[in-house]
Amino acid sequence: MHVRKALQARRRRPLLVVVALGLAAAALAGASVSNGASPIVGKGGGFGETYTAHASTLAKALFQANLLPSNPTARNISLAAFHRAEQKVNYDLAFKCWKNNGCDTGTGGKMTVAYVEGFGENVYRQTSKMEFILQALTYPDIGHIIYTSAHSDLNQALADFRAAIAKHVNLIVTYPDFGDAMLPVFKEATKAGIPVATYAWGYVSGPGTNYTTVVGENTCNLGKAYAAVMNKYVGSGDIAFLGGFPGNPLSLGWMKCERPALKKSIHVVATEWTNWDPSKVQSVVAGILAQHSDIKGWSYEYSAAMAEGAFAAYKAAGVPFNSVLTMRTDDSVLGCAADKLHNPKLKVFYYTGGNPQIRVAFTAAMMKLKGAKIPPTIVFPIQLQNQATRDMCAKGYPPDADATSLVPLALLHRMFPG
């Protein structure tokens, strides 16, 4: 996933990315704290946050330290979140909290925060869950952490959301697997004064009105970036799209924008949904190959599922994996599988998995509670990486984990042993 030596070199540099007083004040002008007093913005901070982060932290999460949101306020919120990611917390408590789907933090804090999942049953979501817990543990005024997963059931997802509202939690972070079907509960939480923030560009209609904010890359731009790769490296022929849960905003976002940006000589011959399940990816890819043996490109989000499903399907079909892959996550297993295949005709391009985006969503919601004006979208720029020049096979990482996660490696090994 990463060129290890380059990343280690970045870590040795003491450079800080700092938002100066003037920028912070300008970005937060007009906001007020909940008690009506004027906001106090110190040197690089305000609303209980510090807007600084080491370049090494940013480079690990974003590939490059300068790939921050262009909006000044969104940039400040992101820096505040990454600053907290650098703080040491009780990892034993974090692991216990992760394993038990919530915990008492032991601080005596009066606040309760909730991560309400529609689907949490893969490594990516479980890593995001740990990012959420680690971020929460940096706030002493948070006394309780709640986590729920609806296990892919829309009705349960709605019920879990309403249960969190009934418990008067202080904030909710989520990924809306079911898209606008979640709007009723988003509105209910907002009406109750509970900030709701999504990550991984979990776009539901009306950010800033129906809920607080959506964090992530603009998935339409992601689709255009995918198309640029296909146009250059495929040129002409058949390609296929794979998505997660039917109707989820991440898949729909890039699909609707990749298709019209493709050359007319490139044909999307299949669009299938996989629920981000490797076994379903295998069956879907096998079915597509049975009808179109010469698929020249695949666009998808989940690199691990592609590695654990598509490679097996190609092997079973006896078809050489001569394709261009455009992926969203940087799961180590895909890079390692590609390296092992030693096939120069298999080309892989990928984006950051974005697990740390949940930290930004969390901090945005916390700042909202303290009176900060939060932009409806917090958008990170997109820079696809080429497996040939930046190997996503991160030695020592659990296979399905993303090296762009800010969860410490030792903790990842406790979470995913073996």
Cα separation, 149 vs 170, in Å, equals: 19
Same-domain pairing of 205 and 127: yes
Question: pLDDT tens digit string along 345-395?
Answer: 999 999 999 999 999 999 999 999 999 999 999 999 999 999 999 999 998
Q: Is residue 178 part of a domain?
A: yes
Mean pLDDT of 12-30: 35
- Residue 209 class from Cβ within 10 Å (0-12 exposed, 13-18 middle, 19+ buried)? exposed
Question: Looking at the predicted structure, is the pLDDT value of residue 405 above 60?
Answer: yes
Q: Is residue 389 part of a domain?
A: no
Question: pLDDT tens digit string along 115-150?
Answer: 999 999 999 999 999 999 999 999 999 999 999 999
Same-domain pairing of 134 and 186: yes
Question: pLDDT tens digit string along 56-66?
Answer: 999 999 999 99
Cα separation, 314 vs 319, in Å, equals: 5
Task: Record the tokens describing residue 25, joined without a space.
Answer: 């004040």
Same-domain pairing of 11 and 39: yes
Question: pLDDT tens digit string along 317-334?
Answer: 999 999 999 999 999 999
Question: Looking at the predicted structure, is the pLDDT value of residue 88 above 70?
Answer: yes
Question: pLDDT tens digit string along 222-246?
Answer: 999 999 999 999 999 999 999 999 9
Amino acid at 173: V
Q: Is residue 393 part of a domain?
A: no
Same-domain pairing of 143 and 194: yes
CB 240 within 8 A of CB 268: yes
Same-domain pairing of 231 and 300: yes
Same-domain pairing of 46 and 96: no
Question: Looking at the predicted structure, is the pLDDT value of residue 8 above 90?
Answer: no
Question: Looking at the predicted structure, is the pLDDT value of residue 34 above 70?
Answer: no
- pTM of the predicted model, to two decimals? 0.87
Q: How many domains does the chain have?
A: 3
Question: Looking at the predicted structure, is the pLDDT value of residue 7 above 60?
Answer: no
Q: Identify the band that residue 27 occupies on the pLDDT scale cut at 50, 70 and 90.
A: very low
Which residue did the predictor score with more confidence, 281 or 39? 281
Q: Identify the band that residue 46 occupies on the pLDDT scale cut at 50, 70 and 90.
A: confident
Same-domain pairing of 213 and 279: no
Q: Is residue 391 part of a domain?
A: no
Mean pLDDT of 87-109: 98
Q: Tell me the β-bridge partners of 240.
A: 270, 298
Q: Identify the band that residue 4 occupies on the pLDDT scale cut at 50, 70 and 90.
A: very low
Q: What is the mean pLDDT of the chain?
A: 90
Q: Is residue 396 part of a domain?
A: no
| CATH code assigned at 140 | 3.40.50.2300
Same-domain pairing of 213 and 259: no
Q: Is residue 390 part of a domain?
A: no
Mean pLDDT of 297-317: 97
Domain finish residue from 84, 115, 147: 84
Question: Looking at the predicted structure, is the pLDDT value of residue 48 above 80?
Answer: yes
Could you tell me the sign of the dihedral formed by the alpha carbons of 13, 406, 326, 392, in that order? positive
Same-domain pairing of 51 and 164: no
Same-domain pairing of 225 and 346: yes
Same-domain pairing of 75 and 108: no
The whole-number pLDDT of residue 395 equals: 87
Question: Looking at the predicted structure, is the pLDDT value of residue 10 above 90?
Answer: no
Which residue did the predictor score with more confidence, 43 or 182? 182
Cα separation, 141 vs 212, in Å, equals: 21
Give the domain range for residue 59. Answer: 4-84
Q: Is residue 388 part of a domain?
A: no
Question: Looking at the predicted structure, is the pLDDT value of residue 221 above 90?
Answer: yes
Domain finish residue from 52, 84, 116: 84
Q: Rounded to 5 degrees, what angle do the CA atoms 331, 333, 334 make?
A: 80
The whole-number pLDDT of residue 38 equals: 32
Q: Is residue 317 part of a domain?
A: yes
The whole-number pLDDT of residue 107 equals: 98
The whole-number pLDDT of residue 44 equals: 60
Same-domain pairing of 212 and 116: yes
Question: Looking at the predicted structure, is the pLDDT value of residue 418 above 90?
Answer: no
